[in-house]
A and B are shown apart, each in its own frame.
Chain A
Amino acid sequence: MKEQTGRIRLSMPLRYTINLALTAALWAVPYALIRAGAITSYWEGVMVTVGINVILAVSLNVATGYLGQLPLGHAGFMAVGAYTGGIFMKATPLAALLRAKNTAAALPYVVAALLLSGIVAGIFGLIIGIPALRLRGDYLAIITLGFGEIIRVVLTNVDSLLGFKFTYGAAGLKQVPKISGFTTVYVCVALTCLVIHMVMKSRHGRAILSIRENEIAAESVGINTTYYKVTAFVLSAFFAGVAGCLYGGYLGSLFPATFKFMKSIEILVMVVLGGMGSMLGSVLAATVLTVTNELLRSVGDLRMVFYALLLIVMMIFRPKGLMGTYDFSMSRLLEKGLNRLARRGGKEAAGNE
C-alpha cells in the first residue's frame, strides 16, 4: 500500500490523448515528407507494402500468438478479401471518381470495399473455423492449409464453371482501382492495431489467452472455448481480408498464384520472428522483413534461403521470438520515468531537511 500511494499514475483520458497524439504524429511526418517530395514514390510504395504486411502479421498473430493455433492458410483469407474488394471496386464508379480526384465521393466506396472484404473473409473464417477448431493442433494447420490451396484452385478455375468472367482466372483480375495510398493504409493499420489491442485487453481477450495457456483448464472454469476460438479465428480472417483489399488496391491487378502456401509462410515468419503473442513484435518484424526484402531484391533466391535459415535458427535458439510476449506501452514507459523522477525529487527533498 505504501508503495502504491507514492506512485504517479496517468489517468485513462490522458493515456488516450498521448496515444492519439503519437499516432497522428507518426502519420503527419511521413505524409508531409511525401508531399514535399523528400520520400520518393518508390519508398512510399515500400511503406504501403510495410503497412499491408503489418496488418497481415498482426492479424495472424491473433490466431497464432494469442490463441495458440497454427493456421497455415492466412494467404487464403487475404485472397478472398483481395478478390472481393477488387471485384466490388471494379463494379462501382470508384475508378472514375479517383481519376477525377473526387476524394470525398470516393471515400464511402473505399470504406465499403474494405469492410466488405473483411466481412467476406470473416465469413470464410467462420465457415472453415467452426469445423476446423473442433480439431486440435496439427489438424487445424492441415485443414487451413487445404483451405488456402482450394481457394487458389477455385480462383483460378471458377470462370469456366460460372460461364462468365468473374475472377479472370490465371490471367489475373486487372485494373483494380488504386485506393491504397499512404494515408489509407496508415489509417487501416492504426485501426487494426487499435481493434485487436482493445479486444485483447477485454475479458474476451483474456478468455482467448487462457485457451492458449491451457485449453482444458480454461474449459473447466467455464470458458466457452469453441466460441472464443472461432471468434479469434474470424477476427484474424477479417483483417487478413482487409489487408487483401489494400493489396489489390495497391498493385491494381490480382493473380491467384500470388496467394500460394509460400505467402502464408512469409506472414508466419513475421509473426514467429517478432514473437508469438506480441503485437509490437509483429509490427517490427513485418517492417524489418519487408524493408530487408526490398533491399535484398537483387540477390533474389538467396533471400528465401536466408528466410528459411532465420526461421530454423530462431526456433532452435530463441523459440519465443525477438520480443517474446512483451508489448510496448507508451504510457507505462512515461509512468516509469515520472516515478523515477519523483523518487529522486523525494530523496533530495528529504536530504535538504
Chain B
Amino acid sequence: MSDIFSQIVNALQLGSIYALVALGYSMVYGIILLLNFAHGDIIMVGAYVTFFAVVNFHLHPLLSMLLAVLVSMLLGVIIEKVAYTPLRSAPRLSLLITAIGVSFLLENGAQLVFGADTKSMTRTPLIPGSVTLFGANVTLAAVYTIVMAILSMAALTFLVQRTKLGKAMRAVSEDMQAAQLMGISLNRTISFTFAVGSALAGIGAVLHIGSYYQASPMMGSMLGLKAFVAAVLGGIGSIPGAMLGGFAIGVIETLVIVAGLSTWKDGVVFAILIVVLLVKPTGILGHPVTEKV
C-alpha cells in the first residue's frame, strides 16, 4: 500500500514538472503556431541559475528560485524579440528552423560555458527533508513540487480567464488580424505570452533541480521533447489539455519504470505520441481546425 502511494507521488511529481513545461509549449503554439523548440532549454538555463545561485553564491534557496524564474522569463522574451519577431510574416518552416537553431545555440552555448559535465547538488538540496504520509516516506521536495505546480496552474487559469491581458491572449490566438483591429497590441501580447510561458518553465526548472538535484547542458532537450508530447497528448493550444497531458505522461513514465523497463521509457512516450497523432491528431482536449483555401 505504502509502495503504491509512493509511486503515485513519484508520478505526480514528475507529471507536475511536465505539465508546467507543457503549458509553455501550448501557450506559444496557441498564439503564434510555433513549436518553440527552445522552450526545453530555458529549463536547462533555469536549472543552472538555481545551481550557481545556491552552490557558488550561497544565496537563500527562495531567492535563488526567484532569480531562476526571473532569468528564465527574461530569456524567453529576449529569444522572442531577437529570433522570432523578425520572422513573424515568414513561412512557418523558417520559424520552426529558427526555433531549432535557438535550441541548439542554448544547448551548445551552455556546454561551452558551463562544461559538458553534470552539475549535481545532492549535498546542498534546495528543499531538504521528508515526511511520512500514509506510511510512505515522501520527500518534502515532492510535496512542494506538486503544490507549487497546482498553485501555478491556478494562477495561470486566473490570468488567462479573468484579466484583460488574458483576454487579449485569447483574442490573439483566436484571430490575430481581428484582435489587432480591436486595438490589441500584437507585440505586447505575444511577448507577454512568452514571458508567462518561460516563467512557468523557470518554475519547472526550479522544481526539477529541487527534485532530481542535477543540471546538465542537454537536460532540456529530452525533457522539453517529452513535455511537448504531453502538450500534444492533451491537445496543443489548450491550457487544461497541457496540464492533463503532463500528468498523463508522468503517470505513464512511472508505470513503465515500475514495470522494470526504464530503458524503454523514452520510446514508450514517443510511441504514445505517434498513436495519439494517428487516432486523434487534435489531442484529448483540442479543437479540430479546418483548413481554408
- Give chain A's interface residues, CB within 8 Å of chain B: 68, 70, 131-132, 135-139, 141-143, 145-147, 149-150, 153-154, 156-157, 216, 261, 265, 268, 272, 276, 301-302, 304-305, 307-312, 315-316, 319
Does B225 sit within 8 A of A, measured CB to CB? yes
A216 to B86, CA, bound (A): 28
- The interface bits of chain B over 247-272 (1 if a CB of A lies within 8 angstroms of the residue's CB, else 0) are 00000000000000001101100110
Select one of B98, B270, B273, B278 contacting A312, CB under 8 A: B98
By beta carbon, the residue of chain A nearest B105 is: A308
Does B160 sit within 8 A of A, measured CB to CB? no
Q: Given A156-B263, A312-B83, A312-B98, are A142 and B228 also a contact pair (CB < 8 Å)?
A: yes
Q: Given A305-B105, A305-B109, A308-B105, are A153 and B291 also a contact pair (CB < 8 Å)?
A: no
Q: Which of B87, B229, B267 has the most CB of A within 10 A?
A: B267
Question: Measured between C-beta atoms, what is the minimum distance from A155 to chain B in Å?
Answer: 10
Does B49 sit within 8 A of A, measured CB to CB? no
Does B91 sit within 8 A of A, measured CB to CB? yes
Q: Which of A138, A157, A309 has the most CB of B within 10 A?
A: A138
Q: Are B109 and A135 in contact (CB under 8 A)?
A: no
* Number of interchain pairs (Cβ within 8 Å): 113
Q: Are B35 and A141 in contact (CB under 8 A)?
A: yes
A137 to B281, CA, bound (A): 12
Does B111 sit within 8 A of A, measured CB to CB? yes
Question: Measured between C-beta atoms, what is the minimum distance from B289 to chain A in Å?
Answer: 9
Q: Are B108 and A304 in contact (CB under 8 A)?
A: yes
Contacts of A145 in B (CB 8 A): 225
A-B contact pairs, 27 of them (CB 8 A): A70-B93, A131-B274, A132-B277, A139-B277, A141-B35, A142-B228, A143-B273, A145-B225, A149-B267, A150-B267, A150-B274, A153-B264, A153-B267, A153-B270, A157-B263, A157-B264, A265-B104, A276-B93, A301-B111, A302-B112, A304-B104, A308-B104, A311-B100, A312-B105, A315-B95, A316-B98, A319-B91
3 closest residue pairs by CB, A with B:
A153-B267, A311-B101, A308-B105
Contacts of B97 in A (CB 8 A): 70, 268, 272, 311, 315
Chain B interface, number of residues (Cβ within 8 angstroms): 43
Q: Are B90 and A319 in contact (CB under 8 A)?
A: yes
Q: Are B271 and A312 in contact (CB under 8 A)?
A: no
Contacts of A135 in B (CB 8 A): 277, 281
Contacts of B185 in A (CB 8 A): none
Select one of B92, B270, B291 contacting A216, CB under 8 A: B291
Select one of A149, A157, A307, A311 contacting B225, CB under 8 A: A149
Contacts of A141 in B (CB 8 A): 35, 96
Contacts of B291 in A (CB 8 A): 136, 216
Contacts of B271 in A (CB 8 A): 146, 150
- The interface bits of chain B over 108-134 (1 if a CB of A lies within 8 angstroms of the residue's CB, else 0) are 110110001000000000000000000
Select one of B87, B266, B281 contacting A316, CB under 8 A: B87
Select one of A70, A261, A316 contacting B86, CB under 8 A: A316
Does B4 sit within 8 A of A, measured CB to CB? no
Question: Measured between C-beta atoms, what is the minimum distance from A226 to chain B in Å?
Answer: 14
Question: Measured between C-beta atoms, what is the minimum distance from B249 to chain A in Å?
Answer: 13
Contacts of B278 in A (CB 8 A): 131
A145 to B101, CA, bound (A): 16
A70 to B112, CA, bound (A): 29
Q: Are B105 and A146 in contact (CB under 8 A)?
A: no
Q: Are B92 and A142 in contact (CB under 8 A)?
A: no
A278 to B186, CA, bound (A): 35
